[in-house]
Chain A
Amino acid sequence: MASPGHRDAPELPDFGLLKRLARDQLVYLLEQLPGKKDLFIEADLMSPLDRIANVSLLKQHEVDKLYRVENKPAHSSSDQLCFLIRPRIRSVKYVADVVNADKATGRTRKYKIIFSPQKFYTCEMVLEEEGIYGDVTWDEWSFYLLPLDDDIISMELPEFFRDYFLEGNQCWISTVAKALHLLNSLFGPFTRTYGIGRCSKMVHEIWREVTEESEGDSLGRKPEIGQVFLLDRDVDYITALCSQVVYEGLVDDTFRIKCGSVDFGPDVTSSDRSIKVLLNAQDKVFGKIRNEHFSNVFGFLSQKARNLQAQYDRRRGMDIKQMKTFVSQELKGLKQEHRLLSLHIGACESIMKKKTKQDFQELLKTEHALLEGFDVRESIGFIEEHINRQVSPTESLRLLCLLSITENGLAPKDYRSLKTQYLQSYGPEHLLTFHNLKRLGLLMEQVPGETLTAVENKVSKLVTDRAAGKLSDAFSSLARKSNFRALSKKLGLIPRVAGEYDLKVPRDMAYVFSGAYIPLSCKIVEQVLERRSWLGLEEVIRLLSGNEFIATDTATEDNPRDFQRIILAVFLGGCTFSEISALRFLGKERGFRFIFLTTAITNSARLLESMIETRA
C-alpha cells in the first residue's frame, strides 16, 4: 500500500482550544446576566452545547432551569430569562411571543438573547416589528466551530445547504469566513488556498477582507495548518447521494450520527434501553473500523473478539501478583473495549438485518449501474417499482436524483411519469419538492430531441457562453447541467479493474463505494493537490462551470515543513463520512493529513430532507 512518496503523517493540531474558547465565552455571557436565570435553548443547539459545557457548569453560573425552545409556550417562574438561539426569524418570534405574553399579563422580567454564532440584521427587524426591541438585550456567542473529532470540525449549520443553494440566501457566508479567520489566526497562517465553487469564492474573498482588517494578530506564531481547500457541495452532488458502505457512513445512514454521537437502540444493545455512544478516535474499536468497507468489518470484529478473549485468557496461568497488576491495569481497559466491541457487533447485526430486508444489494446494483451508465431502462424500472411500493420517500427521491444527474436529466416521458408516480405514492405536496430539486439541478428534464452526447457537447458550450455573458450569478445553479458522464470519463471516476476489487487492500478511493466509483469531490482535491494548481484541469473546470481559484501566501511558500502537509478541507453545504474516509485514505497514501471543516455532516437523507416540502 505504501507509495514511494509515503511519509509519516504529520501531527494534528489540538482543537480542544476551540472548545475552551467557546466555553469561556459562554460563561462570560452568562455572567453578564447576574443572578438566577432560566435558560431556553434552541433544540438543535442542545447537542453542540452538550459537547462544550455540561449542566453543572451552567448551574455554576446560576442557570436555574433549562427549557427547550419549541412551539409551546414557556412556563418559567424566573425573573430572568436567557435565550440561547440561532439567528432565525422563527426563534426570535418565539422570544417575542414569550415577551409579549408577559406584557399582556403585566409581568416584567429581564430578557437576554444570546445568538449563536452571530446575530443577523433580520433578527433586529423582527424584534422591532414585534415591538420588543427595547425589552430585550442581546449578545453574540461566537461559537463557530465544534470539533467533533481529532480531524473533524463542524459548524453545525445544517440549514446552510438549503439557505444558500436553494434560497440563494448568503447570510451564512460571512459566518464561514469568520470561522476560517478564527482557524487561520489560531492555527495558521495558511500558506495556500485552493477552492472551487461560487460560495467558496465568496467565502474566500470575505475571509481575506476580514483578515486584512484585523491584520497582525496571527504574526509570529508557528503555523500548524498549511493548506486549505474549499469546495461547494453543488460541485458534487453524486457522492453525497450514493449509499454509504464504509462503516462510519453506514452507521450514519442507518442510525444517524448526531454531533459525533449516536443513539444505539434496543435492537443494537440487546437490552431494553438505548445507549448513547460517542463515535470518535478515542473509541479504539471504532477507530479501527470506521474507515473500513462494511464487508471487512465483521471479520475485523471477530478477530478483535478473539484477541480480547486471548487477553482475558492470559489470566489463567497467572500468579497472585500478576493477577493483581492485571486487574488494576488492564482489566478496566479490556472491559471498556469489550463493551464497545459488543456494541459495534450489535450495530453491525442491526445494519445487516435492515439492509438485507430491503434488498440492499439490489439497490447498490442499481446505483452502480446508474454511475456507470448502463441498463438505464432497467434502473428506471427498479426506481418505478421502488416508488410504487412506497419503500421510502427519501430513498425514492435519491434514486431519481441519481438518475437525473448521471443522465443529465430525465427524458421528458420518464420525467413526467416518474413524478406522477411519486406524487401518487407520497402525496401532492411533493410538487413543491420537485420544484426545489429542479432549482438545485438535482432533478431535471432533458431538453427534448437531444441525445446524450449532443447534450454534453452543447452543455459544455453553454457553460462557456454563460461565463462570458455573466448571467445573473446568484442562480447559476438554476438549469445547471451536471456533466457527470463527461467528468467521470475525464477524471476516471469509474475504476476499470480486471477481476474482483479487493476491498480489504484498497488501491484507490473507490473502495468507499465498493470499488465502483471514486468520489468526485475527493478526486478533485487529489488532482489539485498533486498539481499544486488547477493547471491541466481546464476541461474539468469547464465542466464544473468554473469558479476555481488559488491563493498563495508568498512569504512562507515552499517551506517543506510538516504543517504544509496538513490540509484543511472545507465543505460548504455539508460533507459525508464517505468523503472523509476517502480523503483519510488519500492522506495515508500521500503522507498528508486532512482536517475536515464542514457546515454540517450530511448524507443523502439529510440532503434530500432539507429539500422536501412537508405539510407542517
Chain B
Amino acid sequence: MDCYTADWNPLGDEAYYRKLDLYSMAWDIKEAGLRDCLVAAAPYGGPIALLKPKKEKSPSSRPVLHIYSASGVHWASTLWKNCPAVHLGWTASEDLLCIQEDGSVLIYSIFCEFKRCFRMGNEVLQNHVVEAKVFHTEYGTGVAILTGANRFILATNVDDLKLRRMPEVPGLQKPPSCWAVLCQDRVTVILLASGQDLLLLDNTSCSLVTLPGMNPHAGSYLRMAVSFNYRYLSLFTDTGYVWMGMSHLKEKLYDFTCNLRTPPKQMVWCTRPRSKQRAVVLAWDRLLLVAGNAQKGIEYHLDEDSYLVPELDGVRIFSSSTHEFLHEIPESTQEIFKIASMAPGALLLEAQREYEKESQKADEYLREIKEQDLLPEAVRKCIEAASCEQDPEIQKALLRAASFGKCFIDKFPPDSFVETCRDLRVLNAIRDYQIGIPLSFAQYKQLTIEVLLDRLVLRRLYPIAIKICEYLRLSEFQGISRILAHWACYKVQQKDKSDEEVASAINQKLGDTPGISYSEIAARAYECGRTELAIKLLEYEPRSGKQVPLLLKMKRSTLALSKAIESGDTDLVYTVVLHLKNELNRGAFFMTLQNQPVALSLYRQFCKHQELDTLKDLYNQDDNHQELGNFFVRSSYTNEQRIEGRVASLVNAVDEYYKAKNEFAAKATEDQVKLLRIQHRMQKEEDKPYLDYSLHDTVYNLILDKNHKRAEQLYRDFKISDKRFWWLKISALAEREDWDELEKFSKSKKSPIGYMPFVEICMKHHNCSEAKKYTLRVAPEQRVKALILVGDLGLAADAAIEHKNENEMNLVLSKCTAASDSSVANKINCAKAQILKK
C-alpha cells in the first residue's frame, strides 16, 4: 500500500489525477475496435451502444446495432434496416436515440426494442442531417441537428416534442467547424464556430461573441466542449491553443497550448462537484492529455482507439479491451494518502494499522490526533475517503480506521459511518461486471437510490433490486412492491407461458404485498393483448374500484357491473351503468340490468328524477305490471293536470293491475276512476272543489252541503260501511250544528256505532243539552261515562249505584269536587259502604 500514490499524476501544485481500472471489457470487438463506429455511452455508468458501420459497396450487408453494459456484456442487437444513422445518444431515462440522416429519430430500449419514432421536421428530408447532438437540460433530454442547409433545429425535450427552428446564421456558407448546445438562464442556445468567428445563436438572433482573455493569434476554432453540468466551456484552435472558461462566456479560467495542432478526436471536461480543480481531457489517436491550471498537462499513452464519457466527477475511458475512470483525487484521499502526510486522517489510518500489529505506536498516533482535538475530523475524513475508493480492500482499511477512531469519541453520530458502509456495499454489488453499473459514490448520491432501482428494473435485474431494497430496509411501497410490480408487468409479456401459469406465478410471488396494484399489472397484460390473463389477474385485485375501469376497457361490461355492485360503491355502479347505456342498444342494456337488481334499482331511481319514460320502458321490458300500475297511478297525481288525462292514466293502471293479478289494486283504482268522474261532475254542477277528496271527505262535504241524496248515493255505490257512514254523518251534522237532522238521523234506525259517539260529538261542539238527549240511549255499560261527559254527576252516580259497579262509582267519585258535589259524593260513599256490608 505504500505505492498507493504510484498512479497519482500531479497537475499543477494542488491537483492530482489518476486512472482507475473499472473493467476488462467482456465484449469481443477486437478486430474492428471502436474505429468508425457510432458510439454512445450513457452517463452514470449507463449502457454503451455501438452501430457498426455499413461495409462499403455491399448494399446487402446491413449494419448491426449492439447494446452492451458498461462492462461490455452483450445485451441485445438488431439489424439496422433504416436510413443511415448520423448520431446515437441516450436519454436521461436510458432510452437510445438514433438520429438518422433523414431527420427521423428512432427510440430504442436498452434491449433494442423499438419504442417510437419522431421527426425533426420535414425540410430535413431533402437537406439531410449533417451533424446531431443529444443534450440534457432541466427540461429533459434534447436533440439538436444541423442540416445540410446549415440550419439548426432543436427539440429541448424528446418526451414533449416541440421543434425549434433556429434562425439562419448570416453568411454561413459551409458547415461550422464545431458547435455546441449551451444552456443559459434556462434558454438553450447554440454556440458555433466558423473559422475564427464565434457565433451565438438563440431563438431570434445570431450574434458574434468574443471570449475574454482569448489569445488573438490563436487561429480558428476546431473543437468545442461543454462540461457535464453545462457550466464550463473549452475551445481548441488550429494552433493547438485551448481556451477554458465559463459557459456564459464572460470569464476565462485558464488556457493551455498543446504540442499537437491536429484537432483531438474527443475533448471533454473532467470536473468534480465541490472541487476547485477543473481540467479538460483531450484524446488523439494514441495520446490522452489532461490540461488544466498548469503549465504542463498530464499525458497518457493510449494503446487502442478509446472513447471518452464525461461523468459528474470524472471521465470514463473505454476501449475495445479496457474501461477506466479518470478523475481528480478528492481532497480527503489526498490528505490521507499523500506521502508523508501528517493530516489527522492519515495519522488515524496509521494508528489503526499499528494497533492491528499490536504496536504501541498506535497510541502515539492517536494521542497526536487527540491532542489537536481532531479525532472527529480524522474519522470523517476516513469515511469520506473510503467512499471515494473503488477497491473494497482500501475501502475496508479506511472504514476500519474510522471505526477504530470512533471508539475514542463520545457520541460520534453513527449515521454517516453506517450509511457509507451500506452504500458502499450496494455500489460494490452493482459494479460487478455481470451487473455492470460502475457508479462512483458521488454519482450514486446524485442519481439517488430510487433511480438506481429504476435502472436495475429497466435492466430486468429484479433479484438484485429486491436484495438492495431489503438490505437498505426501504419501505415496501417504495421498494419491493414496486419492483415486484415491474417484474409482474414484464412477466405478463412472456408469451410462451399459459395464462394460468403466469397468473399463478405472479400471485405466488406477489401475494398480498402491500402497495401492489394487480390492476396495473392486468392493464399491462391487456396492452399485450392477453385479455384472459388480465381478467385472471384482476381476480387478485382486492379493490373493486380498481377492477372496474379496466374491465370496461376490455369490454367485459357484465363482469364490470357485478364487480361494481360487489364493491358497494354506487358511484362505481353508475359509472358502469352509464357506460353500458352508451355501449349497448336499449334492449340489451335493459336485459343486462334485469339480471342485476342493485344496478336496476339504482338506475330506476335516477330515471324517476330524470327520465320518466325510460322508467316506464324498464318496467315494460320486465313485464312488471305491478310497477307499471304504480307508475300510472303516480303519474295521474303528479304529471297530469286535466281530468281526462288523469282518468286515462288511472285506466291504464287498472289494466296493468289486472295483468299483475292484483285485483285489489285494480278494484281500488276502478273505484277511484269512478269517484274522480263523480267529483268532476259535482265540481262543475255545484261549483265547489270536490276533486281529490278521499271518498270519506267527499261524502262528508256532501252532507255539510246538505246534499244528502248524493251522499246516500255514494254510500250505496261505494259500499261504504255503515259504521263509517254513521261516524261521518254525525260529525258532519254536528259541524253544521244541524241538531234536528242529527236527532232525526239517530232515530232513522239503530245506530251501528252505539249512541256514545252522539254524546261525544255534541259535547265536542259544546252543546250539552243536545248531548243529554242521547245519554239515555247509550248502552248501559257506557252510560256512566256518558253522564260524566255531559256533567250530570248526580245521574251518573245513580246509574253507577244501580249497576253496583265499584269502578264506575270510583270514577264518578274522582270527578266530584269537594264544594259542589258533596251530596253526590256522600251518596256514592253510602252505596259503597252498603256493597261492602253485603
Tell me, yes or no, whether A binds B. yes
Of chain B, the residue at the smallest CB distance from A613 is B634
Query: Which of A120, A168, A384, A472 has the largest count of B CB atoms less than 10 A from its CB?
Result: A168
B532 to chain A, nearest CB (A): 27
Query: Which of B601, B692, B728 has the largest count of A CB atoms less than 10 A from its CB?
Result: B601
B518 to chain A, nearest CB (A): 14
Of the listed stretches A62-70, A263-271, A385-393, name the one at the interface; the rest are far from the partner chain. Answer: A385-393
Query: Which of A174, A388, A416, A426 has the largest count of B CB atoms less than 10 A from its CB?
Result: A388
| Contact A385 to B568, CB < 8 A, known contacts A213-B543, A423-B668 | no
Q: Which residues of B contact A435 (CB under 8 A)?
A: 626, 630, 665
Q: How far is the CA of A213 from the CA of B542 in the complex (A)?
A: 11
Q: Which residues of B contact A416 (CB under 8 A)?
A: 664
Against A, the Cβ 8 Å flags (1 = close, 0 = not) of B700-739 are: 0000000000000000001011011001100100000000
Can you spell out 10 A-B residue pairs with CB atoms less than 8 angstroms apart? A120-B570, A120-B571, A169-B601, A171-B570, A416-B664, A423-B668, A423-B695, A424-B724, A428-B694, A474-B598
Residues B637 and A429 in contact, CB atoms below 8 Å apart: yes
Residues B630 and A432 in contact, CB atoms below 8 Å apart: yes
Of chain B, the residue at the smallest CB distance from A435 is B630
B82 to chain A, nearest CB (A): 46
Residues A385 and B723 in contact, CB atoms below 8 Å apart: yes
Known: A122-B574, A169-B602. 18 other contacts (CB 8 A): A89-B606, A89-B609, A93-B609, A121-B574, A122-B606, A125-B578, A129-B610, A171-B570, A174-B568, A209-B542, A213-B543, A423-B694, A424-B696, A425-B724, A427-B694, A431-B668, A435-B630, A615-B692
Which residue of B602, B634, B696 contacts A425 across the interface (Cβ within 8 Å)? Answer: B696
| Contact A419 to B609, CB < 8 A, known contacts A170-B568, A424-B718, A613-B634 | no
Residues B598 and A170 in contact, CB atoms below 8 Å apart: yes
Is A202 part of the contact surface with B, judged by Cβ < 8 Å? yes
Against B, the Cβ 8 Å flags (1 = close, 0 = not) of A468-489 are: 0000101100000000000000
Is B275 part of the contact surface with A, judged by Cβ < 8 Å? no
| Contact A170 to B570, CB < 8 A, known contacts A129-B610, A389-B727 | yes
Of chain A, the residue at the smallest CB distance from B604 is A167
Which residue of A93, A174, A428, A432 contacts B570 across the interface (Cβ within 8 Å)? Answer: A174
Residues 390 to 444 of chain A near chain B (Cβ within 8 Å): 390, 416, 419-421, 423-429, 431-432, 435
Residues B610 and A202 in contact, CB atoms below 8 Å apart: no
Q: Which residues of B contact A213 (CB under 8 A)?
A: 543
Q: How far is the CA of A215 from the CA of B475 in the complex (A)?
A: 14
Q: How far is the CA of A416 from the CA of B578 in the complex (A)?
A: 41
| Contact A428 to B668, CB < 8 A, known contacts A167-B601, A174-B570, A388-B723 | yes
Q: Which residues of B contact A167 (CB under 8 A)?
A: 601, 604-605
Q: How far is the CA of A163 from the CA of B694 in the complex (A)?
A: 28
Q: How far is the CA of A426 from the CA of B672 in the complex (A)?
A: 12
Residues A209 and B633 in contact, CB atoms below 8 Å apart: no
Is B597 part of the contact surface with A, judged by Cβ < 8 Å? yes
Residues A121 and B571 in contact, CB atoms below 8 Å apart: yes
Q: How far is the CA of A261 from the CA of B567 in the complex (A)?
A: 38
Q: How far is the CA of A607 from the CA of B462 in the complex (A)?
A: 61
A614 to chain B, nearest CB (A): 9
Residues A205 and B568 in contact, CB atoms below 8 Å apart: yes
Is B575 part of the contact surface with A, judged by Cβ < 8 Å? yes
Q: How far is the CA of A89 from the CA of B605 in the complex (A)?
A: 10
Residues A421 and B721 in contact, CB atoms below 8 Å apart: yes
Is A498 part of the contact surface with B, judged by Cβ < 8 Å? no
Q: How far is the CA of A163 from the CA of B597 in the complex (A)?
A: 14
| Contact A419 to B633, CB < 8 A, known contacts A206-B568, A435-B626 | no
B187 to chain A, nearest CB (A): 36
Is B638 part of the contact surface with A, judged by Cβ < 8 Å? yes
Residues A472 and B543 in contact, CB atoms below 8 Å apart: no
Is B147 part of the contact surface with A, judged by Cβ < 8 Å? no
Is A126 part of the contact surface with B, judged by Cβ < 8 Å? yes
Residues A209 and B543 in contact, CB atoms below 8 Å apart: yes
Is B592 part of the contact surface with A, judged by Cβ < 8 Å? no
Q: How far is the CA of A435 from the CA of B630 in the complex (A)?
A: 8
Residues B694 and A424 in contact, CB atoms below 8 Å apart: yes
Q: How far is the CA of A384 from the CA of B721 in the complex (A)?
A: 11
Residues A431 and B543 in contact, CB atoms below 8 Å apart: no
Is A173 part of the contact surface with B, judged by Cβ < 8 Å? yes
Residues A125 and B606 in contact, CB atoms below 8 Å apart: yes
Q: Which residues of B contact A288 (CB under 8 A)?
A: none
Q: How far is the CA of A171 from the CA of B574 in the complex (A)?
A: 10
| Contact A169 to B692, CB < 8 A, known contacts A89-B606, A125-B606 | no
Is B569 part of the contact surface with A, judged by Cβ < 8 Å? yes
Residues B605 and A169 in contact, CB atoms below 8 Å apart: yes
Is B669 part of the contact surface with A, judged by Cβ < 8 Å? yes
Q: Which residues of A contact B626 (CB under 8 A)?
A: 435
Is A454 part of the contact surface with B, judged by Cβ < 8 Å? no
Q: Which residues of B contact A206 (CB under 8 A)?
A: 567-569
Q: Which residues of B contact A122 (CB under 8 A)?
A: 574, 606
Q: Which residues of B contact A461 (CB under 8 A)?
A: none
Q: Which residues of B contact A428 (CB under 8 A)?
A: 633, 668-669, 671-672, 675, 694
Of chain B, the residue at the smallest CB distance from A436 is B630
User: What number of A residues sit within 8 Å (CB to CB) of B?
Assistant: 48
Q: How far is the CA of A435 from the CA of B665 in the complex (A)?
A: 10
| Contact A431 to B574, CB < 8 A, known contacts A170-B598, A474-B601, A616-B638 | no
Against A, the Cβ 8 Å flags (1 = close, 0 = not) of B546-578 are: 000000000000000000000111111011001
Which residue of B569, B606, B668 contacts A420 across the interface (Cβ within 8 Å)? Answer: B668
Which residue of B578, B597, B638 contacts A475 across the interface (Cβ within 8 Å)? Answer: B597
A161 to chain B, nearest CB (A): 15
Q: Which residues of B contact A432 (CB under 8 A)?
A: 630, 633-634
Q: Which residues of B contact A385 (CB under 8 A)?
A: 723, 727
Against B, the Cβ 8 Å flags (1 = close, 0 = not) of A87-108 are: 0011001000000000000000
A349 to chain B, nearest CB (A): 19
A42 to chain B, nearest CB (A): 16
The 10 closest A-B pairs by CB, nearest first: A121-B571, A171-B570, A168-B601, A427-B694, A89-B609, A428-B672, A424-B695, A388-B724, A121-B574, A474-B597
Q: Which residues of A contact B610 (CB under 8 A)?
A: 89, 125-126, 129
A398 to chain B, nearest CB (A): 19
Which residue of A173, A174, A425 contacts B694 across the interface (Cβ within 8 Å)? Answer: A425
Q: Which residues of A contact B696 (CB under 8 A)?
A: 390, 424-426
A91 to chain B, nearest CB (A): 11
Residues B605 and A173 in contact, CB atoms below 8 Å apart: no
Query: Which of B610, B718, B720 has the largest count of A CB atoms less than 10 A from its CB?
Result: B610
A120 to chain B, nearest CB (A): 6
Of chain A, the residue at the smallest CB distance from B692 is A615
Q: How far is the CA of A472 from the CA of B514 in the complex (A)?
A: 34
Q: How far is the CA of A174 from the CA of B665 in the complex (A)?
A: 37
B25 to chain A, nearest CB (A): 49
Residues 618 to 632 of chain B near chain A (Cβ within 8 Å): 626, 630
Residues B727 and A388 in contact, CB atoms below 8 Å apart: yes
Residues 665 to 679 of chain B near chain A (Cβ within 8 Å): 665, 668-669, 671-672, 675
Of chain B, the residue at the smallest CB distance from A201 is B568
Against B, the Cβ 8 Å flags (1 = close, 0 = not) of A122-164 are: 1001100100000000000000000000000000000000010
Residues A421 and B724 in contact, CB atoms below 8 Å apart: yes
Q: Which residues of B contact A171 (CB under 8 A)?
A: 570-571, 602
Q: Which residues of B contact A474 (CB under 8 A)?
A: 597-598, 601
Q: Which residues of A contact B567 (CB under 8 A)?
A: 206
Of chain B, the residue at the smallest CB distance from A429 is B637
Which residue of B633, B675, B731 contacts A429 across the interface (Cβ within 8 Å)? Answer: B633
Q: Which residues of B contact A390 (CB under 8 A)?
A: 696
Q: How far is the CA of A426 from the CA of B692 in the complex (A)?
A: 10
Query: Which of A121, A168, A215, A416 has the largest count of B CB atoms less than 10 A from its CB?
Result: A121
Of chain A, the residue at the smallest CB distance from B662 is A435
Q: How far is the CA of A171 from the CA of B573 in the complex (A)?
A: 10
B763 to chain A, nearest CB (A): 12
Q: Which residues of A contact B728 (CB under 8 A)?
A: 388
Q: How far is the CA of A388 from the CA of B626 in the complex (A)?
A: 28
Residues 167 to 185 of chain A near chain B (Cβ within 8 Å): 167-171, 173-174
